[in-house]
Amino acid sequence: MFPPIAAWTRSIRVVSPTVAAIILLDEIAVAAALSIGFLGEPFAPFFVLGGVLIVAGMILASLAERGRATARRNVPGGRA
């Protein structure tokens, strides 16, 4: 199995699937940045737009996960 996918699959055992998916979203932005830096891909304004959308999605998903974790702590028995 491809090492990053294997690492992501194993990370689900340590963190929640939501957090693992948020981390996986970062792969796209990193790949774009590395392609510009190492492969000489031309920089285009839509890269910035895509990066902003990815980061916004990561933030929104993180806030939603944090809210669910807080709700689980406030419910007797720890499950929401």
The predicted-structure confidence for 25-65, as pLDDT tens digits, reads as follows 778 888 888 888 999 999 888 888 988 998 888 888 878 77
Higher pLDDT, 31 or 17: 31
Higher pLDDT, 4 or 34: 34
Kindly report the pTM of this predicted structure.
0.58
SS (H, E, C) 20-79: HHHHHHHHHHHHHHHHHHHHCCCCCHHHHHHHHHHHHHHHHHHHHHHHHHHHHHHCCCCC
